[in-house]
Amino acid sequence: MKRFTTAAKVGVFAVVTVVAGYLIYDFVNKGAGSGSGYVVFAMMNDAAGIAKHSQVRVAGIPVGNIESVKLAGNRARIDIRMNPDVPLYDDASVTKVASSLLGEYYLAIAPGTEGKRELKDGDEIKNVLGATSTDDLMREIALIAKDVRRVSNSLAQSIGTERGEQNIKDTLQNLADVTDALNKTVRENRDSIRNIIQNVEGITERGAPEIDRILENVRVTTKDVRELMAKNEGAPEKSGEVRQIIDKVNRASDNLESALANINSATERIERGEGTLGRLSKDEHLIDEVEGIAEGVGSFVGSLNRVQTVVTLRNDFQFLAGTIKSYVEVRIQPREDKYYSIEVVNDPRGATTIVQTDTETDNPNEPLHSREVRTITRNGLRFSVQFAQRFGPLVGRFGLKESTGGVGLDLLLFDDRFELQQDLFGFGEVVVPRWRVNLGYEFVKRLWLLAGVDDIMAPTRRDYFVGLQLRFNDRDLKTILPFAPSP
């Protein structure tokens, strides 16, 4: 009975083990080979290490599994079943990623760009990225190890011996001694070295033209000697010509010695501080003055380069008057936030002035006191001279506007392509000053379209206008600014 009980236990345990193994297999097989989702495939040159039913990941998260791995031609076709909630797009990519150094891999997928065509069941992932295999890494490590071994052997043979160590010590000691001696020499002779270099530069600069002429004379003389010697070989009667050439060579040598003596004398005078060059090299105050002048000239030239000269040509058509008003403006702009405006205006209204005449009389038949006010309009040009300062998008202006006192306020928007201008001027010319508002838009580079209202506060003189304006930076105009007359 006892033996039967033991056998029964073994049998029951075996049955339970088989049933449990079957259930586990069935569960894993269902989880790995579930029919949900959609299947895509990729073609790879190397599918080593990729197992059937292994996971497929996106950003390290399992999103599917490998349904099959089979040979298609000379490449491996890998069918991938993706979860239905994970879409892939037309530019999706797949790569083989090592999960350990034992040769195990899994597939990593980049879903692609949202908005492109989604992959459907049976589509191919065309972007297959290569991966570095464990064998490649091992080969690279082996090559590096060989190089390290060769370097270590060379170091051991060169400096690993007692003699090598002593040689290195001697070399470092010699280098330290040389560096110390060089530092001492430079510190002790710094002024002398600087003077020598300055003298050599001065001599070379002043003596170069003279030496070039001497060398040219020597070259010509040598050429003449060679030609005459070739012609007069075997002709003693022409030896006199050779003698003349030798005399020329002697004179050239004398000239060279004289030039060298002059150079030596000039160098000594410079060293003693004599003459203009000598004073320049010795007089520190004079050197400071020359440097100050050079800096002033540099500052002036730099400021001139920064100045911008903007030219504006403008024509307005006034609807009610039926006339055309023309403007020519030059802006001198030394900085981005400031400019000076000079403008000439051809206004069909002309230049208007008010003349007031007061009359007193003792004639009993006439008023004791009378006043006559006359408004006189003459044809002529008007002039504007204004100073402008910018504060962010606002520009304030004041000065003369069309030959009368005036102020202005501009608003610049959208990279200064929209411009709202307001001008208030004509004080003393008429009872109510002129208020002009116009809006400009740069619809083409340098070309503006304008529209606005003139003389808003005077109903009898109010007018509406549209116009075109050409505004450009004339770089040639600023070159004549230094020669312009000044007070």
Res. 268: pLDDT tops 80: no
Highest-pLDDT range among 133-142, 214-223, 256-265, 337-346? 337-346
Q: Of the given ranges (24-33, 163-172, 253-262, 434-443), which has the lowest mean pLDDT? A: 24-33
The structure tokens listed for 406 are: 């005036």
Strand order in the sheet with 93-98: 38-44, 75-82, 61-72, 55-58, 105-110, 93-98, 127-129
* Per-residue 3-state assignment (H helix, E strand, C coil) for 276-334: HHHHHHHCHHHHHHHHHHHHHHHHHHHHHHHCEEEEEEEEEEECCCCEEEEEEEEEEEE
Tell me the three state secondary structure of residue 385.
Answer: strand
Give me the torsion for CA of 464, 467, 473, 477, rounded to 10°: -90
The confidence band for 206, taking pLDDT boundaries of 50, 70 and 90, is: confident
CA torsion sign for 161, 165, 166, 171 is: positive
The confidence band for 220, taking pLDDT boundaries of 50, 70 and 90, is: confident
Highest-pLDDT range among 239-248, 272-281, 321-330? 321-330
| Higher per-residue confidence, 371 vs 143 | 143
pLDDT of residue 483: 47
pTM: 0.37
Res. 382: pLDDT tops 80: yes
Q: Of the given ranges (260-274, 391-405, 443-457), which has the lowest mean pLDDT? A: 260-274
Mode of pairing for the β-strands spanning 61-72 and 55-58: antiparallel
Give mean pLDDT, residues 447-476. 89
Angle in degrees, CA 21, 27, 33, rounded to 5 = 125
Instruction: Work out the mean pLDDT of the chain and round it to a whole number.
Output: 79
Highest-pLDDT range among 112-121, 162-171, 220-229, 277-286? 112-121
Q: 403, 420 in Cβ contact below 8 A?
A: no
pLDDT of residue 423: 94
Angle in degrees, CA 393, 399, 405, rounded to 5 = 120
Give me the torsion for CA of 334, 335, 338, 342, rounded to 10°: 30
Give mean pLDDT, residues 167-178. 84
- Distance (Å, rounded) from C-alpha 400 to C-alpha 428? 13
Q: 125, 92 in Cβ contact below 8 A?
A: yes
Q: What percent of the chain lies above the pLDDT cut of 90?
A: 16
Reference 405, options 378, 433, 377; nearest CA is: 433
Q: What confidence tens digit (pLDDT) does each residue in 22-45 have?
A: 666 555 554 444 557 899 898 888
Q: Of the given ranges (133-142, 232-241, 322-331), which has the lowest mean pLDDT? A: 232-241
- Distance (Å, rounded) from C-alpha 420 to C-alpha 416? 10
Q: What confidence tens digit (pLDDT) does each residue in 36-91 have?
A: 789 989 888 887 778 888 888 888 888 888 888 888 888 889 898 988 888 889 88
- CATH for 307-352+380-483, options being 1.20.5, 1.10.287, 2.60.40, 2.40.128: 2.40.128
pLDDT of residue 464: 93
Q: 336, 351 in Cβ contact below 8 A?
A: no
Give mean pLDDT, residues 451-471. 90
pLDDT of residue 351: 62
pLDDT of residue 33: 47
Q: What confidence tens digit (pLDDT) does each residue in 401-459 have?
A: 888 889 999 999 999 899 999 999 888 676 788 899 999 999 999 899 999 999 888 88
Res. 156: pLDDT tops 90: no
75 phi and psi angles, rounded to 5 deg: -130, 165
The confidence band for 214, taking pLDDT boundaries of 50, 70 and 90, is: confident
pLDDT of residue 153: 75
Give mean pLDDT, residues 245-249. 72
Residue whose structure tokens are 């503006």: 448
Q: At what angle do helices 284-306 and 275-282 cross, to 10 degrees?
A: 90
Q: What confidence tens digit (pLDDT) does each residue in 178-194 have?
A: 888 888 887 777 777 77
